[in-house]
A and B are shown apart, each in its own frame.
Chain A
Amino acid sequence: MTQFLSALSIGLGSGAIYALVAIGFVMIFKATGVISFAQPAFLMSGAIIVSFLAPLMGFYVGAVLGVMAIGAVALLVERVAIRPMIGKAVFTIAIITVGLDIVIRTVAGMFLGTQPRSVGDPWGTDVWVISGVVVQQRHVAAFVTATVIVVALLLFFRYSAVGLAMRAVASDQEAAMAQGVSASAIFALSWAMAGALAAVAGVFAATGGPIGNTLWLVALIALPAIVIGGFDSLGGAIIGGLTIGVAQAVVSTYHNQWFDGSGVLPELTTNLGPLMPWVIMLAVLLVRPHGLFGTKEVERV
């Protein structure tokens, strides 16, 4: 039981990171109808920029400034490379974001250097032990931060004028424009917020160790999360992210007991955990092709 609860805490911590990236994906998708494959680059460069700012001004200020900087970069990227493509096929825009991802990620990677860099988080690998359950502080921090951000976002969408405009554009772009909402401003804002969310996720994904060259892969795990939840569902993104995080952590914890020695599939020596998001995704899609909470596409002839 304590082993399970420890796995659960790891899962919720990493799941919160996936959920943050997934919310970014969903925001861009709701506004523009495109999946932005550039999120991994924003995640990676967020962690790297914070690793430069944190030694100068402390982790908290550095993280906030770094996240804002990545938001600005995303805004710029949208303006330069995505805005001219409005109205083109969504897949074309998605491929452009793939290209952008490679460029931004490579440029950010140049700043990594050969010395190990860390984001200078105050938690490191410290743990709390609560009646035998090992809980890593960084996972708690990630979960709490994600919760605060999600609540703030929901309040923003519910009560602010800009949030209302964003919901209006997401539900009916032309009607929103007829009411005087600038759709292109909303697109830009969605990109900026999604970039910032990815950067937050990057900072927490990089806690507890040096920034690795493969950190950006974390953002890809948010893709099955949004497929499970449905591309256009914020709640689905959060639930999908947490589900995947927990499933991954639980399978990683119990992999040895399930697959070694017991005689079931003895070839599986490598941990199945990283594979779980994709397996769950395929299982969900077999039943519901538009995700658990996604809107079913209306086919009109």
Chain B
Amino acid sequence: MIQTACLVAIAAIAVSALMNLYRLAKGPDVLDRILALDTLVINTIGLVVVIGIWFGTSMYFEVALLFVAVGFLTTIAFCKYLLRGNVIE
């Protein structure tokens, strides 16, 4: 049963990643694209967690944690660059 739920969840996350890619390609402003990238990273974290349940190993949590940290830093760096013109002053 858990395997079926994991399959459905992986399909749903794939659909939402496609929707994020649509916004990434279309988004009128650069900030829409930053938001789409942020959401894509969060969807990837969900995918990694579901794959961890699917394979039954706790090896993937470090991957998810790294994705959280890198996605957050990337969003902050992009916004900082747009606000101030450089990332580290």
Mutual binders A and B: no
